[in-house]
Amino acid sequence: MKCVRCLLQLQSLRLLGQSTRCSAQYSSLLPSASSQPGLPHSTQQQVSRSFHSSSACSKSRPVPTDFLKDQDGKKDKSLVVQKDLFEEVAKDIKTKATFNKVVEVFTKRDVRRRGHVEFIYAALKKMPEFGVERDITVYNKLLDVFPKEVFVPRNFIQRMFNHYPRQQECGVQVLEQMENYGITPNVETKVLLVQIFGDRSHPMKKYQRIMYWFPRFKHTNPFPVPRQLPEDPVDLARFSLTRIANDLDAKVTVYQVPFTDVSESGEDITCPHIVGIQSPSQMELLAQHNPSRPVFVEGPFPLWLRNTCVYYYVLRADPTPEEKKEEPYDPERCFDYPLQLDIDLERDLGDDEEFDVEDLDEGPVYAMCMSGQGDQATLNQWISGLQQTNPILGQVPTLFRLDSGPRDLQGPAETESGPRHQTDTETHNQSREEVQDEEAEEPRRTQGMKQ
């Protein structure tokens, strides 16, 4: 405790006297970054915290604007220098190679690596632009910019106090960004950190914490989404549908592969893909469906896969009002043993390990599909495809209850199905339209089957 207190005091002193300028510089450089020494009287607390708390905390801390303004003129210089380096070397092509080249240029320019902290901060910020934010080798290369062995404490006093805090914090920042992008450091990272900061430094501790948690969290998601989603819309639909259904028996059927055709009148006709999924138990349920009650095609519902959004449709029915009647016990059912005990004794309360689950009034879902277009004609094609394996659909009235399509859910990432949906749904914009005449529907469906 005592030690820590000393450390804090010393640090704040040093900061006050020495390098308020610098810290202010990068605080504006990285507004979301961790260390933002505020007003001098609060410095002590904040700086000491920055090693132990996440950046999220410091982000919310109000940065006094006047303070930043004051420093603006001074800090601009070095900032511009580093940014320029990136702009200079890699003007048009922003790739891993050019990024590496920038780093190389910087390292070769000056033996003393002057301004390397600023450079690293700038590089960190530029990484997503160059598309290298998930590349462990690039992070290692960036750490390699630090001069080696200079910041390693050599005696117990140095070790006790925060040795080269700016550099250490910069190192932590590199690791922090790795953490945010879910990149697990490797042995090279560790070697570099030991070489640069020594084995008890703050970056090293950050490294150890990451190495403690990351492997443990690697498989926490039982339904992982691959980083690279399939490009082909049919494959994507297949993947998404199996993901929603989560049933090993469920069978995916491609009712229509997407293709473009030229009609007789010379217009281009694009036929959207239609991919559906249905499990044997769903087929069984559908076969037991009361034909006098309608089934509904509903949708679109969104499904997010990382930052892609896809839409799906379901074929469902209203919850059956009548209770399912139990099959009467047939004593002549099993040749080998009685299927029921003829005793007037219930399970004892003490051994009743079941608990009440409130039943939701949600009807059965018979099938799901994804399609390039969300209009009724396309979905009708799906239903007619389903009818081949579920003959009962020929007798059941099918109602289409389609929403006007994805609007606000579109979000930042425009998906493949997204924009097309937008256009499709505009054509029949009557939201939640209900078409009920089954007689009119029947022939259309058979047409769809012929196709």
Partner 1 sequence: MFTVSGLNTRTMMNVNRIVALSKKSVQVGQRLLVCNSNPTGREVLRLQQRRSIRTHSRNLAYAKSLFLGQVNKAEVFPYPEVGNEEAEEIQQLVAPVEKFFAEEVDSARIDQEAKIPPETMNGLKELGLFGMQVPEEYGGLGLSNTVYARLAEITALDGSIAVTLAAHQAIGLKGILIAGNEAQKNKYLPKLASGEHIAAFCLTEPGSGSDAASIQTRATLSEDGTHYLINGSKIWISNGATADIMTVFARTEVVKDGVKADKISAFIVERAFGGVSSGKPEDKLGIRGSNTCEVAFDNVPVPVENVIGEVGGGFKVAMNILNSGRFSMGSSSAGMIKKLIELTSEYAATRKQFNRSLSEFGMIQEKFALMAVNAFVMESMAYLTAGMMDRPGLPDCSVEAAIVKIFSSEGGWICVSEALQVLGGLGYTKNYPFERYVRDCRILPIFEGTNEILRMYIALTGMQHAGKILTGKIKELKKGNIGVAFGMAGKRLKSAFGSSVDFGLTGKDGVVHPSLEESAKKFEQNVAFFGTTVESLLYRYGKSMVDEQLILKRVADVLINLYAMTAVLSRSSRSISIGARNHDHEVLLANTFCSDAYFKNNYLMTQLQKHSPENNDANIKKIAKEVLENRAYICSHPLERTF
**Residue ranges in 22-81 that form contacts with partner 1 under rule CB under 8 A:** none
* 354 vs 439, beta carbon nearer partner 1: 354
**Residue ranges in 174-193 that form contacts with partner 1 under rule CB under 8 A:** 184
* 145 vs 277, beta carbon nearer partner 1: 277
Residue tagged 């399609």 (tokens): 371
Non-local CB neighbours of 20 within 8 Å, separated by 6+ positions:
37, 40
Which one among 347, 361, 408, 412 touches partner 1, defined by CB under 8 A? 347
User: Could you tell me the CA-to-CA distances from 24 to 20, 32, 42, 221 in Å, in that order?
Assistant: 6, 13, 14, 40
Asked if 288 interacts with partner 1 (CB under 8 A), we say no
Asked if 348 interacts with partner 1 (CB under 8 A), we say yes
The amino acid at residue 374 is G
For 30: left if phi > 0, alpha if psi spans -120 to 50, otherwise beta; the answer is beta
Give the separation between CA 377 and CA 272, rounded to whole angstroms: 11
Q: Are 54 and 105 in contact (CB under 8 A)?
A: no
* 3 vs 349, beta carbon nearer partner 1: 349
Work out how close the CB of 350 gets to partner 1 at its nearest, in angstroms, rounded to a whole number: 7
Q: Residue 300: is the preceding peptide bond cis (ω within 30°)?
A: yes
Closest CA to 293 of 445, 449, 436: 436
Asked if 218 interacts with partner 1 (CB under 8 A), we say yes
Asked if 93 interacts with partner 1 (CB under 8 A), we say no
User: What angle do helix axes 65-89 and 96-109 make, rounded to 10 degrees?
Assistant: 100
Give the separation between CA 144 and CA 203, rounded to whole angstroms: 14
Asked if 337 interacts with partner 1 (CB under 8 A), we say yes
Asked if 227 interacts with partner 1 (CB under 8 A), we say no
3 state DSSP class of 32: coil
Which one among 6, 339, 409, 413 touches partner 1, defined by CB under 8 A? 339
Residue tagged 């399912």 (tokens): 324
Number of residues that bind partner 1 (CB under 8 A): 28
Asked if 351 interacts with partner 1 (CB under 8 A), we say yes
Work out how close the CB of 182 gets to partner 1 at its nearest, in angstroms, rounded to a whole number: 12
Give the separation between CA 451 and CA 313, rounded to whole angstroms: 21
Give the separation between CA 110 and CA 116, rounded to whole angstroms: 10
* 109 vs 333, beta carbon nearer partner 1: 333
Paired tokens of 45: 């607390």
Which one among 59, 148, 333, 432 touches partner 1, defined by CB under 8 A? 333
C-alpha torsion 67→69→70→72, nearest 10: 120
Q: Are 398 and 297 in contact (CB under 8 A)?
A: yes
Give the separation between CA 312 and CA 296, rounded to whole angstroms: 14
Which one among 161, 181, 214, 301 touches partner 1, defined by CB under 8 A? 214
Q: Which stretch binds partner 1 (CB under 8 A): 67-75, 255-263, 302-310, 335-343?
A: 335-343
Q: What x/- string results for residues 234 through 263 when contact with partner 1 is judged by CB under 8 A? A: --------------x---------------
Asked if 221 interacts with partner 1 (CB under 8 A), we say no
Work out how close the CB of 98 gets to partner 1 at its nearest, in angstroms, rounded to a whole number: 30
Asked if 423 interacts with partner 1 (CB under 8 A), we say no
Supply angle C-alpha 187, 189, 193, rounded to 5.
120
Paired tokens of 97: 């190679």
Work out how close the CB of 360 gets to partner 1 at its nearest, in angstroms, rounded to a whole number: 22
Q: Which stretch binds partner 1 (CB under 8 A): 83-91, 159-167, 302-310, 327-335?
A: 327-335
Work out how close the CB of 331 gets to partner 1 at its nearest, in angstroms, rounded to a whole number: 9
* 121 vs 207, beta carbon nearer partner 1: 207
Residues binding partner 1 (CB under 8 A): 184, 211, 214-216, 218-219, 248, 330, 332-348, 350-351
